[in-house]
C-alpha cells in the first residue's frame, strides 16, 4: 500500500521541527523525495494521497467495525482539506508501515469510543496541512502570492486572475513541500462537512456480498484450520490421536497450538471442522476444573463487606453519616459474565516463512495484532506485516486480545510457506471469550429526618479487567477502570453531589478472563447507581426525576440530557394507559447520556418496550445520522445483555455454547428509539459505547414502576421475565 | 458431486453430500457473501433462496439442494440494477458492520415476494435474524420503503 520511501514524512505528526513560515510560502527542500502510494500517486501528507484524476485517498488508522468511524474520520480530514467529498476514498495504512514511519498515523486502537475523540486534532491537521501545501504548489506554479489563492471542492483559485487548477494537477508538486508543523484549524462554526449526515462510504459492498471480512479471505494455496482450546481456562492438552482423523477427506495436518489447543488443517474449513469433531482429545483441565458460578458468587459476596477495598470516589464521612441517619436503605445487585458474540467468529490468516510472517485479520487494533504476530512468529518487526480486514463486529473482543492471531501464526509456523486461515466455530467463540466482568454491588443510602440524602456508600466486589489485561495501568493495585461513571471528575464523572460519599471496590478476580465488553464497566455501574437512585427516591416518597435533580445542581451537562429525555417523554404527565416510565443518566466516555423508557408489562413478566427516548451530548457531532444509529443500536446491545445474556460457569468452563442458549434481541423486540442529539460544543465525547449503559437501568426502573418489583440480579430471563 | 443452479449458473460442486449448503456455497462455489454465524440455524446470517424461499443454508445438506435453484446475495441484483431491497437498504443506510446484512436482505426479499406489503406483525414473525450492531430500526424502515417501491 505504501512504499518504503519514508524519510521526511515521518515527522508530519507530532513533529518538533519548525515549519516554514506559511504566509511567506513553503520552502522546497533540496532533494526532497515524494512518498508514493502503491499505485504511484503522491502522498501529500501521511493522511492524504491525491491521484492525478483528483481522487482523494484518505488514510484511516482506526478500524471500522460498523460504528461509522471510517466515514467520520474521513469527514474530518476532508473538512480541512477542502476537497470534493464525492471523490473521497479511504484506505488503512498497515501496522508494519506505521512502525517504520514512527507511528505517522498515531494510535490504531479502536476501543473506548476513542476513534474520533482521540484523533480529531491530528487528522484535521493532516487535512489542513495538505490543503496548504496544495495551494502553495499552485501559487508557486503561477508565480503569485499564496495569499491570493484559495481552495474549495478540490479546486484552487487565484482570485485576481480567475485561474483555477484541481488538486490532482498540483499534488505532485505539493508532495515535495515540507508540511507546515501546526496548521490552523477552522472554527467549528465554519464547518461544512463535519456535522453533516453524509452517507457512509462503505455501504454498497455490504449489500451485494462483496465486502471481504476476515472469514472471507482467499489466498492462493491457502488451507483452512479449525481449532479447539482447552474448555477450562488455564487447562492444557494432555493427548490427542491424530491418526484417527489423518485420512479423513481433505485433512492435511493435525497440529498442536501452544500447550492448550489443537487444530486440524484441511483443504476446506468444513473438512477441518468435521475432522476436529472426530478427533479424540484428552484435556488436563488443571486446578480450575472445580470452579462454578456459585463458588464465584460466594467469593464476590464476601467482598461486599470486606474491610479492605480500593477507593474510587470519596468525600465527607460516610460511616458517621450512615450511623447517625434518620433512615437508611440497602440493596445488593449482581451482574453476570457476558460474551461479546460479534456475528463474525474470531479468525485470522497467517503465512509464515523464517524470513517473513504475514497476517490478515479483522482487528480493532492493527498495532496490537502486529505485536501478537511478532511475539508468536519470533521474527523482528521488519519481517512481519499485518493487513487489516473488515470486521463482522468487534464490541471490544477484537481490540486488546489477539489470541486468534497467536494461534494462526503458531499453526502457520508448522506449515512454512502455506497460508492458513483459522476460523473459530461459534461454540469455540462462546467458550473462549474475554468476558464482561462479574460484579456485585452493595449500596447503602442514608437520609436525615427531612428525607434529604446525606450519605451514599457503594461497595463494588468483583473482577478487575486491567489486572488481567493491562496490569501496568493499575494504580497501587487499584483498577481505575472499575469506577467508570463513578469518578469525581474526568470523562466518566459521577453526576450527583452527595454530602458524604464512598465508592470503593473489593477486587475479587476469577480464572475466567475478563475483557472490554462494549461500554465496559459503566454498564453495571449505571445499573447499580441509577436503579438505586430510583430505589432511594421511592423510599422517601419522592419523584425519581425530582430526587435526582436536587443532587445534580452542580452537574449541568448531566442534568441537561436528563431533562431533555424527561421533557420529550412527557415525564410528570400521564402516560398512555398501561405504560410506565423509567429514567437513567450517566457520563460515559466523555459524553453525557440519558434515557427514558416506556414499557408495558403483561402477567408481570412479559415486557414490551413501547418507546425509548435517548439524549446524547457528545460535545461535537460529526455525523448525526450515524450517531442516531449508534444510539438505537446501543439499546439492542444493552437490552440483549440485561434481558437475555449470561455466561455461567460449570466445572471451570463456560456452559453456553451458541445463540440457542445465549440469545440476542430480534427485530420483534426492538423498541422505537427516539434520539435527541444535543452537542453543546467545546469538548469531544464518544458515541459507539456511551448510550448502552442507560438502556438497562431505564427499563429496570420502568419495570419497577409497572410491577412494584425491583429486580437486582441479571439477566432478567432468570426471573422468568421475557422481552416481547 | 452435487449439481445445482446458483445465481442462474449450473454448477457441479465436488463435495461430500452431507456438507452444509452454506459451506459448499462459500468454499466450493467461492461465493463468500453468504455468512457463517452460528451453524445451527439460529442467527440467519447464512440465509439464501432455495427455489425462491428463504432457507438457512448452514443446516441444509448440499444433497438436499441437488437439482434446485439457489440464489445468494451475489445474485440478488439484476446485473447492475439493485434489487428493491438492496436499494431501500442503501437509501436508509441500514448496515453497520454489515456481516448479518446478506442474510437479512435475503430474508426480507423472500418475505416481500410472499407478502408484498408486510405489516409490522408480519415483519416480526418472519424476520428473526440476529444483528448484534442493532440495525433493526433502519431494517424496519427499509422494509416498508422497499414494499412501497
Q: Over 60: is that where the pLDDT of A7 sits? A: no
Q: How many domains does chain B contain in total?
A: 2
Concatenated DSSP letters for A471-490?
GGG-BTTB-GGGGTT-BSSS
Q: Over 70: is that where the pLDDT of A5 sits? A: no
Q: Are residues B136 and B98 in the same domain?
A: yes
Of A110, A118, A109, A61, the C-alpha closest to A590 is A118
Q: Which of B42, B86, B139 sits opposite A659 (nearest CB)?
A: B42
In Å, how far is A345's CA from the nearest CA of chain B?
A: 7
B63-92 pLDDT, tens digit per residue, is 999 999 999 999 999 999 999 999 999 999
Q: Are residues B31 and B93 in the same domain?
A: no
Q: Over 80: is that where the pLDDT of A542 sits? A: yes
Q: Which of A209, A423, A659 sits opposite B73 (nearest CB)?
A: A209
Looking at beta carbons, which residues of chain B come within 8 Å of A634?
A: 134
Mean pLDDT of chain B: 97
- What does the alpha-carbon distance between residue B145 and residue B148 come to, in Å, rounded to a whole number? 5
Q: Over 50: is that where the pLDDT of A570 sits? A: yes
How many interchain CB pairs under 8 A, A with B? 175
Residue A427: all three cell numbers together: 461454540
Which residues are bridge partners to A674 per DSSP? Answer: A613
Q: Which of A209, A344, A392 sits opposite B74 (nearest CB)?
A: A209
Query: Once rounded to an integer, what is the mean pLDDT over residues A246-262?
Result: 98
Looking at beta carbons, which residues of chain A come within 8 Å of B63?
A: none
pLDDT of residue A335: 98
Q: Which of B20, B93, B130 sits opposite A666 (nearest CB)?
A: B130
Question: pLDDT over 90 for what percent of chain A?
Answer: 95
Q: Are residues B22 and B52 in the same domain?
A: yes
Find cell 418472519 and name the residue.
B126
CB contact (8 A) between residue A269 and residue B27? yes
Q: Are residues B71 and B93 in the same domain?
A: no
CB contact (8 A) between residue A633 and residue B42? no
Domain stop point among B47, B75, B103:
B75
Chain A CA closest to residue B140: A667
pLDDT of residue A33: 80
Q: Over 90: is that where the pLDDT of A469 sits? A: yes
Query: From residue B21, how far is each of A274, A428, B73 by CA, in Å?
Result: 14, 21, 14
CB contact (8 A) between residue A670 and residue B76? no
- What does the alpha-carbon distance between residue A233 and residue A296 come to, in Å, rounded to a whole number? 14
CB contact (8 A) between residue A660 and residue B19? no
Looking at beta carbons, which residues of chain A come within 8 Å of B137?
A: 629, 632, 670, 672-673
Q: Are residues B71 and B103 in the same domain?
A: no
Query: Once rounded to an integer, what is the mean pLDDT over residues B8-21?
Result: 96
In Å, how far is A153's CA from the nearest CA of chain B?
A: 24
CB contact (8 A) between residue A208 and residue B97? no
pLDDT of residue A472: 97
pLDDT of residue A19: 31
CB contact (8 A) between residue B32 and residue A393? no
Of A544, A521, A532, the C-alpha closest to A692 is A521
Instruction: Give 3-state DSSP helix, strand, coil % of chain B, rounded to 5.
Output: 40, 15, 40
Of A12, A25, A31, the C-alpha closest to A136 is A25
A400-422 pLDDT, tens digit per residue, is 999 999 999 999 999 999 999 99
In Å, how far is B38's CA from the nearest CA of chain A?
A: 5
In Å, how far is B11's CA from the nearest CA of chain A?
A: 18
Looking at beta carbons, which residues of chain B come within 8 Å of A392?
A: 35, 97-100
What single-letter DSSP state applies at residue A184? -
Query: Once rounded to an integer, what is the mean pLDDT over residues A51-74?
Result: 97
Of A598, A498, A483, the C-alpha closest to A548 is A498
Query: Once rounded to an integer, what is the mean pLDDT over residues B19-29?
Result: 98
CATH number, domain containing residue B19: 3.10.20.30
Chain A CA closest to residue B86: A207
Query: Once rounded to an integer, what is the mean pLDDT over residues B5-18?
Result: 96
CATH number, domain containing residue B114: 1.10.150.120
A623 or A29: which leads in pLDDT: A623
Please name the helix (run of DSSP H) or strand (run of DSSP E) that holds residue A319, with its range, or none.
helix A318-323
pLDDT of residue A32: 61
Query: From residue A292, how far is each of A121, A297, A304, A481, B37 by CA, in Å?
Result: 48, 9, 19, 26, 28
In Å, how far is A282's CA from the nearest CA of chain B?
A: 25
pLDDT of residue A213: 98
Which residues are bridge partners to A315 per DSSP? Answer: A501
Q: Which of B27, B38, B97 sits opposite A268 (nearest CB)?
A: B27
Query: Once rounded to an integer, what is the mean pLDDT over residues A162-166?
Result: 98
CB contact (8 A) between residue A269 and residue B124? no
CB of A63 closer than 8 Å to CB of A363: yes
Q: Are residues B27 and B61 in the same domain?
A: yes
- What does the alpha-carbon distance between residue A37 and residue A5 come to, in Å, rounded to a whole number? 10
Looking at beta carbons, which residues of chain B come within 8 Å of A202?
A: 98
In Å, how far is A105's CA from the nearest CA of chain B?
A: 23
Domain stop point among B48, B75, B102:
B75
Looking at beta carbons, which residues of chain A come within 8 Å of B136?
A: 632, 636, 665-667, 670
In Å, how far is A270's CA from the nearest CA of chain B?
A: 6
CB contact (8 A) between residue B35 and residue A213? yes
CB contact (8 A) between residue B136 and residue A667? yes
Q: Which of A343, A670, A672 sits opposite B97 (nearest CB)?
A: A343
Q: Which of A218, A269, A343 sits opposite B45 (nearest CB)?
A: A343
CB contact (8 A) between residue B97 and residue A625? no
pLDDT of residue A314: 98
Q: Are residues B55 and B7 in the same domain?
A: yes
Q: Which of A208, A343, A633 sits opposite B77 (nearest CB)?
A: A208
Q: Are residues B140 and B92 in the same domain?
A: yes
In Å, how far is B17's CA from the nearest CA of chain A?
A: 12
Q: Over 70: is that where the pLDDT of A21 sits? A: no
pLDDT of residue A713: 98
Domain span at residue B95? 84-148
A344-374 pLDDT, tens digit per residue, is 999 999 999 999 999 999 999 999 999 999 9
Looking at beta carbons, which residues of chain B come within 8 Å of A344?
A: 35, 37, 97, 99
Q: Which of A72, A110, A208, A631 to mutate to test the interface with B (most CBs of B within 10 A)?
A: A208
- What does the alpha-carbon distance between residue A506 and residue A302 come to, in Å, rounded to a whole number? 9
Q: What is the dihedral of CA A196, A197, A200, A201, to 10 degrees?
A: -30
CB of A270 closer than 8 Å to CB of B27: yes
φ/ψ of residue A381, rounded to 5: -60, -35
Q: Which of A207, A426, A660 sits opposite B86 (nearest CB)?
A: A207
Query: From residue A379, how far is each of A72, A327, A354, A372, B139 by CA, in Å?
Result: 36, 65, 8, 11, 46
pLDDT of residue A23: 33
A138-160 pLDDT, tens digit per residue, is 999 999 999 999 999 999 999 99
A472-500 pLDDT, tens digit per residue, is 999 999 999 999 999 999 999 999 999 99
CB contact (8 A) between residue A636 and residue B130? no
What single-letter DSSP state applies at residue A325? -
Q: Are residues B52 and B108 in the same domain?
A: no
pLDDT of residue A8: 36
* ipTM, two decimals: 0.98
Chain B CA closest to residue A63: B97
- Going by pLDDT thresholds of 50, 70 and 90, the confidence category of residue A302 is very high
CB contact (8 A) between residue A209 and residue B16? no
pLDDT of residue A614: 98
pLDDT of residue A18: 29
Same fold, A214-286+346-423 and A293-338+435-723: yes
Q: Which of A211, A219, A270 to mutate to test the interface with B (most CBs of B within 10 A)?
A: A270
What single-letter DSSP state applies at residue A187? -
Q: Are residues B118 and B53 in the same domain?
A: no
- What does the alpha-carbon distance between residue A219 and residue A209 come to, in Å, rounded to a whole number? 18
Please name the helix (run of DSSP H) or strand (run of DSSP E) that holds residue A312, with its range, or none.
strand A310-315
Find cell 493495585 and name the residue.
A477
Find cell 521474527 and name the residue.
A379
Q: Which of A218, A629, A640 sits opposite B96 (nearest CB)?
A: A629
CB contact (8 A) between residue A658 and residue B38? yes
Mean pLDDT of chain A: 95
- What does the alpha-carbon distance between residue A590 and residue B132 come to, in Å, rounded to a whole number? 24
Q: Which of B13, B15, B38 to mutate to test the interface with A (most CBs of A within 10 A)?
A: B38
Q: Over 90: is that where the pLDDT of A606 sits? A: yes
Q: Over 90: is that where the pLDDT of A3 sits? A: no
| Cα A234 to chain centroid, rounded | 27
- What does the alpha-carbon distance between residue B11 and residue A266 come to, in Å, rounded to a whole number? 23
Q: How many CB atoms lie within 10 A of CB A661?
A: 13
Query: From residue A285, how far is each of A277, A278, A337, A723 by CA, in Å?
Result: 19, 20, 21, 37
CB contact (8 A) between residue A203 and residue B93? yes
Residue A384: all three cell numbers together: 512481519
Q: Which of A425, A665, A667 sits opposite B39 (nearest CB)?
A: A425
| Cα A558 to chain centroid, rounded | 22
The domain A214-286+346-423 is classified under which CATH number: 3.30.365.10, 3.30.565.10, 3.40.50.150, 1.10.530.10? 3.30.365.10
Domain spans in chain A, listed from the N-terminal domain onward: 7-198, 214-286+346-423, 293-338+435-723
In Å, how far is A344's CA from the nearest CA of chain B?
A: 6
CB of B103 closer than 8 Å to CB of B44: yes
Which residues are bridge partners to A386 per DSSP? Answer: A359
Q: Are residues B113 and B59 in the same domain?
A: no
Please tell me the CATH code under which domain A7-198 is placed.
Answer: 3.30.365.10
Please tell me the CATH code under which domain A293-338+435-723 is placed.
Answer: 3.30.365.10
Domain stop point among B75, B106, B133:
B75
Chain A CA closest to residue B44: A343
Q: Are residues B70 and B94 in the same domain?
A: no
In Å, how far is A209's CA from the nearest CA of chain B?
A: 4
CB contact (8 A) between residue B132 and residue A213? no
What single-letter DSSP state applies at residue B93? T
CB contact (8 A) between residue B90 and residue A207? yes
Chain B CA closest to residue A627: B96
pLDDT of residue A9: 36
CB contact (8 A) between residue A342 and residue B98? no
pLDDT of residue B1: 83
Q: Over 70: is that where the pLDDT of A13 sits? A: no
Amino acid at each position: 500500500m505504501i512504499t518504503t520511501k519514508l524519510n521526511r514524512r515521518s515527522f508530519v505528526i507530532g513533529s518538533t521541527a519548525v515549519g516554514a513560515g506559511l504566509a511567506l510560502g513553503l520552502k522546497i527542500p533540496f532533494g526532497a523525495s515524494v512518498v508514493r502510494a502503491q499505485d504511484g500517486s503522491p502522498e501529500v501528507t501521511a493522511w492524504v494521497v491525491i491521484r492525478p484524476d483528483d481522487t482523494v485517498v484518505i488514510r484511516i488508522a482506526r478500524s471500522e467495525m460498523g460504528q461509522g468511524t471510517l466515514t467520520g474520520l474521513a469527514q474530518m480530514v476532508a473538512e480541512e482539506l477542502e476537497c470534493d467529498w464525492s471523490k473521497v476514498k479511504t484506505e488503512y495504512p498497515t501496522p508494519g508501515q506505521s512502525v517504520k514511519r514512527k507511528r505517522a498515523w498515531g494510535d490504531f486502537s479502536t476501543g473506548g469510543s476513542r476513534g474520533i475523540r482521540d484523533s480529531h486534532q491530528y487528522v484535521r491537521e493532516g487535512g489542513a496541512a495538505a490543503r496548504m501545501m496544495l495551494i502553495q504548489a499552485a501559487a508557486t506554479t503561477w508565480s503569485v502570492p499564496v495569499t491570493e489563492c484559495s481552495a474549495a471542492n478540490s479546486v484552487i483559485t487565484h482570485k485576481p486572475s480567475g485561474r483555477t487548477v484541481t488538486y490532482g494537477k498540483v499534488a505532485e508538486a505539493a508532495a515535495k513541500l515540507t508540511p507546515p508543523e501546526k496548521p490552523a484549524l477552522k472554527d467549528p462554526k465554519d464547518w461544512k462537512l463535519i456535522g453533516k449526515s453524509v452517507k457512509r462510504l462503505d455501504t454498497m459492498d455490504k449489500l451485494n456480498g462483496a465486502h471481504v471480512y476476515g472469514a472471507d479471505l482467499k489466498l492462493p494455496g491457502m488451507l483452512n484450520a479449525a481449532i479447539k482450546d482447552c474448555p477450562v481456562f488455564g487447562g492444557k492438552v494432555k493427548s490427542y490421536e491424530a491418526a484417527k482423523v489423518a485420512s479423513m477427506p481433505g485433512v492435511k495436518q493435525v497440529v498442536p497450538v501452544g500447550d492448550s489447543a489443537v487444530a486440524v488443517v484441511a483443504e476446506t474449513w468444513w473438512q477441518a471442522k468435521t475432522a476436529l469433531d472426530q478427533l479424540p482429545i484428552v484435556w488436563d483441565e488443571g486446578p480450575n476444573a472445580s470452579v462454578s458460578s456459585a463458588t464465584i458468587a460466594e467469593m464476590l459476596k464476601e467482598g461486599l463487606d470486606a474491610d479492605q477495598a480500593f477507593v474510587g470516589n470519596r468525600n465527607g464521612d460516610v460511616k458517621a453519616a450512615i450511623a447517625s441517619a434518620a433512615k437508611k436503605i440497602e440493596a445488593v445487585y449482581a451482574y453476570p459474565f457476558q460474551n461479546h458474540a460479534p456475528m463474525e467468529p474470531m479468525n485470522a490468516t497467517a503465512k509464515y516463512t523464517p524470513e517473513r510472517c504475514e497476517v490478515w485479520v479483522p482487528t480493532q487494533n492493527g498495532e496490537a495484532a502486529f505485536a501478537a504476530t511478532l511475539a508468536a512468529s519470533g521474527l523482528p518487526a521488519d519481517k512481519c506485516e499485518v493487513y487489516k480486514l473488515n470486521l463482522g463486529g468487534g464490541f471490544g473482543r477484537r481490540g486488546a486480545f489477539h489470541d486468534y492471531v497467536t494461534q494462526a501464526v503458531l499453526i502457520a509456523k508448522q506449515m512454512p510457506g502455506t497460508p492458513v486461515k483459522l476460523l473459530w466455530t461459534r461454540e469455540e467463540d462462546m467458550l473462549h471469550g474475554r468476558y464482561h466482568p462479574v460484579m456485585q454491588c452493595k449500596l447503602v443510602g442514608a437520609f436525615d429526618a427531612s428525607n434529604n440524602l446525606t450519605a451514599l456508600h457503594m461497595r463494588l466486589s468483583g473482577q478487575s479487567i486491567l489486572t488481567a489485561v493491562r496490569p501496568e495501568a493499575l494504580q497501587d493495585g487499584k483498577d481505575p477502570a472499575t469506577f467508570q461513571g463513578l469518578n469525581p471528575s474526568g470523562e466518566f464523572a459521577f453526576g450527583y453531589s452527595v454530602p458524604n460519599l464512598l465508592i470503593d471496590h473489593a477486587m475479587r478476580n476469577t480464572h475466567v478472563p475478563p475483557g472490554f465488553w462494549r461500554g465496559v464497566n459503566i454498564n453495571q455501574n449505571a445499573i447499580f447507581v441509577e436503579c438505586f437512585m430510583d430505589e432511594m427516591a421511592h423510599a422517601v416518597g419522592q419523584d425519581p426525576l425530582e430526587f435526582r435533580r436536587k443532587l445534580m445542581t452542580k452537574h449541568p451537562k448531566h442534568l441537561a440530557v436528563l431533562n431533555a429525555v424527561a421533557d420529550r417523554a412527557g415525564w410528570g404527565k400521564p402516560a398512555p394507559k398501561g405504560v410506565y416510565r423509567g429514567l437513567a443518566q450517566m457520563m460515559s466516555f466523555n459524553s453525557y447520556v440519558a434515557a427514558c423508557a416506556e414499557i408495558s408489562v403483561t402477567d408481570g413478566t412479559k415486557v414490551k418496550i413501547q418507546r425509548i427516548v435517548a439524549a446524547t451530548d457528545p460535545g461535537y457531532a460529526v455525523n448525526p445520522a450515524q450517531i442516531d444509529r449508534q444510539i438505537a443500536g446501543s439499546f439492542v446491545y444493552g437490552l440483549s445483555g440485561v434481558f437475555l445474556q449470561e455466561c455461567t460457569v460449570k466445572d471451570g468452563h463456560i456452559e453456553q455454547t451458541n445463540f440457542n442458549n445465549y440469545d440476542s434481541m430480534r427485530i420483534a423486540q426492538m423498541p422505537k428509539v427516539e434520539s435527541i442529539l444535543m452537542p453543546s460544543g467545546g469538548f469531544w465525547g464518544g458515541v459507539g459505547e456511551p448510550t448502552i449503559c442507560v438502556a438497562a437501568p431505564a427499563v429496570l426502573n420502568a419495570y419497577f414502576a409497572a410491577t412494584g418489583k425491583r429486580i437486582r440480579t441479571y439477566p432478567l430471563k432468570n426471573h422468568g421475565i421475557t422481552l416481547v | 458431486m452435487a449439481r445445482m443452479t446458483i445465481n442462474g449458473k449450473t454448477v457441479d460442486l465436488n463435495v461430500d453430500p452431507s456438507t452444509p449448503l452454506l459451506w459448499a456455497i462459500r468454499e466450493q462455489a467461492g461465493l463468500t457473501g453468504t455468512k457463517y454465524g452460528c451453524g445451527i440455524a439460529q442467527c440467519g446470517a447464512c440465509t439464501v433462496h432455495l427455489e425462491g424461499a428463504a432457507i438457512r443454508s448452514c443446516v441444509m445438506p448440499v444433497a438436499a439442494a441437488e437439482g434446485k435453484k439457489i440464489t445468494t446475495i451475489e445474485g440478488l441484483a439484476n446485473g447492475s440494477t439493485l434489487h428493491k431491497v438492496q436499494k431501500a437498504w442503501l437509501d436508509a443506510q441500514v448496515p453497520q458492520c454489515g456481516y448479518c446484512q446478506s442474510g437479512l436482505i435475503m430474508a426480507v426479499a423472500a418475505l416481500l415476494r410472499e407478502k408484498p406489503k408486510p405489516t409490522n406483525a408480519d415483519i416480526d414473525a418472519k424476520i428473526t435474524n440476529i444483528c448484534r450492531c442493532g440495525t433493526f430500526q433502519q431494517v424496519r424502515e427499509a422494509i416498508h420503503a422497499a414494499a412501497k417501491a
